[in-house]
Chain A
């Protein structure tokens, strides 16, 4: 990694953390459980790194570990989005809605 890339990455991390704080502070405590399962699913974007690792074929170890990593991350993506949506579907208001 070049030095300038590193600095850019630090900027990205810091700014993203700030955005995270501001956005997540506004999430109602009502939805904190689905919030956690959603951020967990988004976190599984790590699958992208695992895909490259498993696909580049640089070493047998990397391919094997990469494949297991894909399994772990994919199960988080599929399961995480699924359960978040199932939970959110249940939240209904007592006030009559237009639909």
Chain B
């Protein structure tokens, strides 16, 4: 570092410029108005850094690089063109790819340098490889569950936490030995294998509804592993990018765990999903509920002056977002004020529901998050819940014995009338009965979300059918 040749200095300045552009890129993401400029800033930074590196004098052979860049682009384009409902699994897959890159580079560096590796370097190298490989298999598992090629139900067994933590402890202990005795090179493949195994075990107990938290957590791990790689290669740019990504994933993890009312240590160890076993759902007497037809629902909605629609993942599963958009149009045309209340964990990753509604051409200034929409429910004539369940359950507010007690919810029960579109009376993911459904002001609209909303739209005289 002390005697930089001219070209080295230039490269370092290019990297600095790229780092500034990366930070700027995230800063521009603060508002939907400037966000696309953020993408451009990121692209320019990336291009500068790659071109600068390609001109690096230490490179003697461009064949592998060319193959890698071309093949990567060929794989990358279809991954950038997936359907919006598939964005969560695409993102999980990209966490896996990022972690794979980090792990492979870490492995190569180990075999290039070992056994003459100073303790600190071995420590960050181990951190890079452990974090990288557990993120790789963990993200592949998450992608598999989201794509539904793997069972979505959480798989749990007694002593699972103990087994998982022991596996992780073995990897860390192996790394510790390697730090103090770098000669034990045969430990390295073992550490790699155990970390890969831990990534799988970590995701096994995770159910579909916990995915937003897991996605954020894997995001954070991917960032930290990249930062560790930056330490190994003494690349400040990589350290900065990894720290930004790690911080971003960390913030999202905290948001998600707050929204699910889980403690942060619970999130850190990845040990969630098993405490919410269905209890008390069975054996309960069927309580009376009021139901309504599309005609009745349309009449009430048409007469309202303020409507809040609460969409959940069920709406996305039913592919009802475009029908919901038609409902929004029909009501807006009649002068009804329509807004959307979005719970932080609606969807399969943070912010997913907003993307799905934006895709259906619903203006983003009508999409309000929980804190902003909750004060509006008491002045709301109709709250229309589509495919959401637990996040609307008043038991979270006033029943200390409920497993979801304390979870922040959307206060739909404070609206004058509540309508819930639901296939049947089956309980939600947490297996908890929703008290909302038995309120006097609640009307159950039984049926498929897409066709039911379509029927309401037809009654209101809108839509294209």
Contacts and interface: CB of A to CB of B under 8 A. Distances in A.
Interface of A: 1-2, 5-6, 8-9, 12-13, 16-17, 19-21, 23-59, 61-95
Q: Does more than half of chain B's interface fall in helix, strand or loop, or is it mixed? A: helix
Nearest to B40: A85
Nearest to A37: B91
Given A20-B247, A33-B347, A33-B355, 14 more contacts: A13-B240, A24-B247, A30-B351, A31-B351, A49-B238, A59-B111, A74-B69, A76-B101, A79-B77, A83-B79, A83-B90, A85-B36, A87-B84, A95-B363
B351 A1 contact: no
Contacts of A78: 72-73, 76-77, 79-80
B223 interface: yes
B104 A38 contact: no
B80 A67 contact: no
A73 to B, nearest CB: 4
Nearest to B360: A90
Given A51-B54, A73-B72, A79-B94, A42 B108 contact: no
Interface stretch (B42-50, B200-208, B282-290, B427-435): B42-50
26 contacts: A1-B118, A12-B240, A13-B230, A16-B243, A20-B248, A23-B244, A28-B31, A30-B354, A31-B32, A32-B354, A33-B91, A33-B352, A35-B26, A38-B42, A39-B248, A45-B22, A48-B237, A51-B53, A67-B67, A70-B64, A75-B73, A78-B72, A79-B94, A83-B80, A88-B32, A90-B355
B457 interface: no
A9 B234 contact: yes
Q: Does more than half of chain A's interface fall in helix, strand or loop, or is it mixed? A: helix
Contacts of A2: 1
Given A38-B26, A48-B50, A54-B65, A91 B32 contact: yes
B76 A79 contact: yes
Contacts of A29: 255, 342, 344, 350-351, 354, 369
Nearest to B351: A32
Contacts of B364: 30, 91-93
Contacts of B367: 30
Which residue, A1, A43, A48, A85, has most C-beta atoms of chain B within 10 A? A43
